[in-house]
Structure 1
Amino acid sequence: MSEENPICSAKGCRADAVWVLAWNNPKLHTPERRKTWLACDEHREHLSRFLDVRSFLKDVVTLADWQERERGA
């Protein structure tokens, strides 16, 4: 996630990302692995629901909080 102005991961959306949705597919990834999707305010709920229905969603945090975590790691 090194883009200067990250954008939403929703198909066709070009809005600035505000949220990070951390997820994991247990059939493909080790339990500690986290993949990420970015979301704008408009698509956060839709993308979260998509991942949650599949039991993939692990965490939803603001982009600023996620970046702070990454700097501290």
Structure 2
Amino acid sequence: MASVPGDVDGPTSAPAIALAPGKTARFDLDEWGIDPSQVLVVSADGPIVVGRETYAGGVSLALAVPFRG
């Protein structure tokens, strides 16, 4: 899910992609229309690793908080 911080009426779903165990995927958030000011939620039913690459200069902050939905 991707939503604007503080927007409690934001989207209840977003593009969903399922991966088989042991598989990897790369996503271009610009292609999905996810703005840097939005929050991206990644959920899983097992251990996962999420990475982030940035291509612009300046400061980047990438917080990760476990989502237990």
Larger of the two Rg values belongs to structure: 2
Structure richer in helix, relative to its length: 1
Structure richer in strand, relative to its length: 1
Q: How high is the TM-score relative to the length of structure 1?
A: 0.29
